[in-house]
Structure 1
Amino acid sequence: MEKYFKRKATDQLSPPLRTDALNHGTAKRQCGEINLADLPSDPRLRTRILDYNPTVQDQVRKAYLQRGPCQPKKHNFPQMNFRNTIRRFNPTWFDEYASWLEYSIEKDAAYCLYCYLFKPNNGEQAGGDSFVGEGFKNWKKKEKLKIHVGGTYSAHNHARRMCQALLNHRQHVETFFFKQSHQDRSDYRIQLNASIDCIRYLLRQGMAFRGHDESDDSNNKGNFLELLHWYSNRNEEVKKVVLKNAPANLKLTSPDIQKDIVNAAAIETLNKIIGDVGNSLFSILIDISRKEQMAIVLRYVCKGHVIERFVGVEHVNDTTTLSLKKAIDDFFLRNKLSISRLRGQGYDGASNMRGEFNGLKTHILKENESAYYVHCFAHQLQLVLVSVAKNHIKIDDLFTLVSNLVNVVGGSSKRRDFLQEKQASKVIEALDSGEISSGRGLNQEITVKRAGETTWSSHYGTLISIINLFPSIIELLEELKVNASKIDQKHEATKLLDWLESFDFAFSLHLMKNLLGITHQLSQALQRRDQDIVNAMNLVTLSRSRRRAPKFTNLHYYQVDLFYDVIDMQLQELNSRFTETNTELLLCMACLSPLDSFSAFNKQKLIRLAQFYPKDFSENDILALEDELETYIFDMKSSSVFSGLKGISDLGEKLVETKKDRVYPLVLLARDTGTNPTCCDCLCGKSIFCYEYIEK
C-alpha cells in the first residue's frame, strides 16, 4: 500500500510555475505548495528540483520515483538527419536503461531521471548537462548513454544511491511489519481486507463514505463505518480485530486510509486498462464538465472485443484548445500511450473541440492524420434543427410561443384536468358518430408534451400534441380569457388565442411538423443501439433529398421568405455536419457486417477503408488485402460457425476465438482501425455513433 500513499500534505499543494534558466530566482519565490498529481510527466516541462520550496522537494522526488521514468515506448519517434544519415531515438534503449532513461516528446531528447532528482552542483559529469538541461539527442552515439552512467563514483551513480536512500523508509516499514508475530500480521490483513471490501462495495454503488460525526456513539457515522459495523457483526473473524477490538492506533478506518485505498484501487485499475490496450490501436472520447474537468474514455479492441473504459478525470485550468491538448498529452505521457496509435476522436460539437482551424480535433489531426473525428450523428441532427430555429425569426417565434402555450396550458393541475375532460368528451362524441374506431392502444389520453431544450426530436411530439388537442386548447384559453382570477392571465390567454387563430401560426406549425416528421425517423434510428449503419446513412440521404421539394403555389411570402428559406438552412446544415469523409468511412466499415450472410460485403469499399489509414496499410498491404478478401468472404459464407452473427463486434470475437485472425490479419486490422472512429456500443446507450456519455 505504501507505494500508493499520498499524504495529507500533498493534497494541499498546488503546481509550481514552469521556468527556464533565466527565471530560476523568480520561480523559487513563486513556488509554494504543490499538487503531486499534477506534476508534468515530460522531462522538458518540469521545474528544476532546486526551484521547489525545500519543504516539499523530497515529496516531489518521491512522486517522480514512484511514477517511474517517462518512457513513451509506443511513440512515433521523429527522424533526424546526421550528416546525410537518418537516425532517431531507439525505444529499445528503454529496456537497456529501464530505471533512469527518459524521453521528452516536447523536445525530442533523452534525459536522466536520477540526475534530474539529485544532480550535484559541484562541476559537470561526463556528458555535461545534456541529460538534465537541454537533453541528449545525438542518436548516432549510443555510447554516450554508457558514458553518462560512468563508474561507481560517478555523478549519475551518486544520484542513483540518493534515490535509493530516499525510498529506504518504505523498507523500514516493511521490515518492522515482518518482525511482528504471525498473529499480528494475520490480524492486520483481516482488518485491511475488511476495509477494502467495504470501500469496494461503496464504490460500486456510487455511495458517499463520510458522515457528519464518526464518533462511536454517533447516529450518523457515514456509510463506510456503518457498513463495516454491519459486516463485522456477521463475521466473527472480522469482528475480533476491527473497530473497538482493533488496536487504538491501527483501526484502518480514518479518512486518510479510505483515500489511500481508493487511490490504490484507481491506480491498479488504470494500470490494468493500459495493459489491456497494449500495442492496440485506440480512440479517445472526451467530455468537459462545467467545473473544468475533462472526463476521458479509451476505446480499443482486445482479443476481438470492442471495449470502452473510463480512465479518469483530468483537471484543466480552462477549456481553451491548448489547455485541453496539453492535458491529453500529459495523460498520454503518464500512461505511456502514443498519439501515433490513435485512430479516433470523439467530442461534442463545441467550437473549441471541432473547429476546423484551431479546434482540438484539428491539433490532433496535425500530429496524426489517421485520428478521425466523428461527432455523434444523432446529436448533429439536433444541432441542424437548433441552427434553423435560431437563425430564422419565424421559426424561433414559433417555438418561443409554443413554449409559452405549454406553460399556460400545463400551469396547474386544474387546467390539465379541464383539458383532459374536454378532449375525453370529444373522443366520446367521435366514437358515437363513427368518426373514429375503438380498440386496444387507440384513443389514449393525450397531454401537451413539454419539449426538451436541445432534444429536438421531442419538439416533434409537442407539435403533434398541439395539433391533436387544438380544439380543446382553444376552449381552455377562452375559459381563461373570461374567468381567470388575475388580469395578466386574461391578457396572456387573449394574446395566445389571437396568435393560435392566425394563418401565420397554422402555416408555421404544419411546416415544422412536416419537416421534423421527416427527420424524426432518422433521429430515432440514430439513437438505437442496434441500428444498421447502412440504413442510417440511407436515412441521412433521404432526409436531404426530401427537402428538395417542388414550389408551392402560395403567396410569395410563405413560399420564398419562409418555406424555401427554412429548407435551404436545413440543407446547408446537413451538408456541413454530415461530412463526406465521415459518411464514407462509416459506409465502408459497414461492409464488414456479418448480418444476412455477409450481404453487405463489398471488396472495393473495404479496400477504400484500408486506404483511409496509410500508416497501417502500405501499398503492398493494399494489394495483399485485395487477395485476402476474396478468400475471406468465401470462407465466411461457407462456414456455419459464422452464420447468425449479430454485428461487427461479434465477428471480431469469433475470428479470434476460431484463430481466423491469424489467417486474415489484414481483414482484422481493417476491422480494428475502422472500429475506433465508428462507435457501435456507446456509453450513453442511445446511438451507435454517439461518443457522449453521462456527465457525473
Structure 2
Amino acid sequence: MEKVNCGKDCAFIVHEGKTPASAHNFSIKCYEGLKNKLCHIENVIEKQTTQQVMDNRLRLKVSIEAIKWLTFQACALRGHDEGPDSKNQGNFLELIKLLASYNKTIDDVVLENAPQNAKYTSPDFQKEILHVLATNVQKATHDEIRTAKFCLIVDESQDESKKEQMAIVVRFVDRDGNVKERFLDLIHVKDITSSTLKNEIMCSLSYHKLSVQDIRGQGYDGASNMRGEWNGLQDLLLKECPYAYYIHCFAHQLQLAQVAMSKDVTEVHNIFKTLNFIVNVITSSSKRHDQLQDAQIAEISYLIEVDEIESGKGKNQIRTLQRPRDTRWSSHFKSICSLMRLFGPSCVVLTDIATKGSTSSQKGDAIFALKHAMSFDFVIVLHMMKDIMWITDKLCQSLQQKSIDVINALALVSTTKILLQKLRDEGWQSLLDQVVCFCKRSDILVPDMNETYKYVIRTRRDKENITAEHHYRVELFIAAIDSRL
C-alpha cells in the first residue's frame, strides 16, 4: 500500500479549510478588500479639521515659548508634585496656567482643554524641545565661526550626582572684529585623564564640524592633567595642532600666587583661619544672624545721634558677614571688608554668646573668637591685608574681563606691582594711624611701638631685642608685600 505524507497534506488542508477563519480564506478576503478604494488608508485614517490643526499649533507654540523662557531664566521646569490636586505644579505648568489666564484663546486649547494625547507637557516632550533648542544654538555657533580660527577654553568638575562633566567654550573673532565667547558643549566623561578629555574634545569638534587644525589657543586651569608639559591635555592637543598654544588662566595664576603668598607669612596665614572661624561662629544660626542685624541697627542709631554718620536713602544698609571661599580668592577680600564694617556688632554678638551660650562649646568658641578679634595683632593684619588685597583685587577683576589679552594682562600686572611698591615705601605710617584709630574706637589695647616685641614662640629666624614697630613694619607689612611682589 502506498504511503501518504500526512504532515504536508494535513497542513495544506488546514490552510485551505472551508471555514471563514482559515488563513487561506482570510487572505483572499483581504485581497478583495484592497481592490476597494474605500478601504485605502488615506480614506480610512481620520483627517483633522483646519481648526484642530490650528489648535495643535497654538498648543505646541505655548509649550515651546514656556520652555524657552524658563531655560533663558535658568529655572527648573519640573515640580515636586505635578498632580491635578497640587497647589504648585512646577514652573512649566504654572507658567502655562498664567498665560492661559490672560488669553482665552490659549485657555481653550491647553492643559485640561487639550486632548489627552496632545497636551505637549510631558517630560519627554520638554527634553525633546530642549534638545532641539540646544542643537539650534550649537548650529548658530558653528555658523558664527565657520572657517575662522578659534581658541578652546575647557574645564571639568563634578555635578550634584557626582558625575564628571567637561564644559567646552570656544573663543573667536567674528566678522566685525569683535571677540566672542560661546558655550559649545557639556560632556559627561568617565574619568579626567588627559587622554580621555582629549578624545572627547576631538569627538565634540568633529560633531560640530570644527577642525582641530583651526585651534589657535588653549585655556585651562593649572591642574597637572590639563597643563602637563609631557602628557597633559595641552600637550596632546599641541601634537594635533602645533599652533594651539596653551595659556594658563590669568585669574587662576593670580589666585595661586595669593595662596602661596598667604602661606609665606605665618601671621597672614593665621589671619584667614581666624577670620573664617569668627564668621562661622557668628553666622552659624539664624538666631545669631538676627542678633547681628539688631546690633547693627543699634550701632547705626547711635552713630546718627552723635553725628558721626549721615542718614539718607540708600545709606547705612543692614549687611551680613561674607564667608571666604577657597576657590574664589576675591571672596577673602570681601570677607575682610565685611568684618571690618561690622566689627562692633560682631563683637557684641560674640560677647552675648560667650555669656549666654546654651552649651560650654558655644561659650568656648565665642570666647576664643572674641579674644583673637580684640587683639592688636589681628586688627593690624586685617587692615594690612585689606590695603594689599584692594590693589590685587582690581587686577583679579580685570583679568576676568572678556576683552583681556596677553599684552594688556602684562601691563596690568606691571601697574599692580607699581602700586604695591608705592604702598610698601609710603603706606606704613598711614596704615598705623588707621589701626590706632580703629583700636581706640573699639577699646583694643595698642602696644608701645618703641618697646621690645615679645614673640609667642621664638624661632631661630626671630631676632632678639627688636621693637614692636620693627616687627609689624618689617616682618609683617614689608614681608607680606615683598612675597606678593
Query: Equivalents in 2 of 1:543, 1:343: separation in Å?
Result: 29
Distance 1:421 1:213 in 2: 44
State the secondary structure of the residue aligned to 1:452. Answer: coil
Most deviating of 266-275 and 218-227: 218-227
- Partner SS state of residue 289, structure 1: strand
Residue in 2 that maps onto 1:381: 254
Q: Equivalents in 2 of 1:483, 1:218: separation in Å?
A: 45
Pairing of 1:397-416 with structure 2 (within 5 A): 397-410=270-283, 411-416=288-293
1:141-152 correspondence runs (5 A) = none
Contact 1:232 1:238 in 2 (8 A): yes
The letter of the residue matching 2:155 is D
**Contact map agreement 2:324 2:332 (CA 8 A) in 1:** yes
Give 1:196 shift: 5.0
Q: 1:486 to 1:399 in 2, by over 3 A?
A: same
Q: Given the superposition, is the C-alpha separation of residues 507 and 264 from structure 1 closer, same or farther in structure 2, using an over 3 Å criterion?
A: closer
TM-score, reference length from structure 1: 0.46
Q: Distance in 1 between matches of 2:109 and 2:366?
A: 73
How is 1:155-554 mapped onto 2 (pairs within 5 angstroms)?
Answer: 183=48, 187=52, 191=56, 194-195=59-60, 197-206=62-71, 208=76, 234=103, 246=115, 255-290=123-158, 291-304=163-176, 305-390=178-263, 392-410=265-283, 411-418=288-295, 420-422=297-299, 424-425=301-302, 428-429=305-306, 431=307, 438=310, 444=316, 449-453=321-325, 454-467=327-340, 477=350, 481-482=354-355, 484=357, 486-526=359-399, 537-548=410-421, 549=424
Question: How many Å separate the matches in 1 of 2:407 and 2:232?
Answer: 29
For residues 235-277 of structure 1, the C-alpha deviation after alignment (integer angstroms, 9 at most, x for no partner) is 769957997675x766666554554444344334433432332
How many pairs does the alignment contain?
A: 391
Q: Specify whether residues 508 and 554 from structure 1 end up closer, same or farther in structure 2 by C-alpha distance, changes over 3 A only.
A: farther
RMSD between aligned residues: 4.7
Alpha carbons 1:406, 1:448 under 8 Å: kept: no
**CA distance 1:421–1:521, shift in 2 (3 Å):** same
Q: Distance in 2 between matches of 1:216 and 1:408?
A: 45
How many angstroms apart in 2 are the aligned matches of 1:341 and 1:537?
26
Identity level (%): 35
Secondary structure of 1:346's partner?
A: strand
Q: Is the 8 A contact 1:196 1:261 kept in 2?
A: no
Relative distance call for 1:428 and 1:540 in structure 2 (3 A) is: farther
Alpha-carbon distance between aligned partners in 1 of 2:192 and 2:294, rounded to the nearest angstrom: 47
Distance 1:222 1:339 in 2: 42
Q: CA-to-partner distance for each residue in 1:111-146, whole Å, 9 max, x for gaps?
A: xxxxxxxxxxxxxxxxxxxxxxxxxxxxxxxxxxxx
> Unmatched 5+ residue regions in structure 1?
1-174, 572-696
Rg larger in structure: 2
SS for the counterpart of 1:504 is helix
Unmatched tracts of structure 2, length 5 or more: 1-39, 429-465
The code of the aligned residue for 1:299 comes to R
Counterpart of 2:324 in 1: which secondary structure? Answer: coil
- What aligned pairs does 1:30-109 form with structure 2 within 5 A after superposition? none
Match of 1:112 in 2: none
For residues 196 and 425 of structure 1, the distance between their equivalents in structure 2, rounded to whole angstroms, comes to 59
Preserved contact between residue 267 and residue 381 of structure 2 (Cα < 8 Å)? yes
Q: Secondary structure at the match of 2:243?
A: coil
TM-score (norm 2): 0.63
1:228 is displaced (CA, Å) by 6.6
2:107, 2:351 → 1: CA distance?
72
CA contact (8 A) 1:388 1:570 kept: yes
Measured after TM superposition, the shift of residue 202 of structure 1 is 1.1
- Output one character per residue of 1:277-302: Cα deviation in whole Å (capped at 9) or x when no partner: 22111223333231312222333334
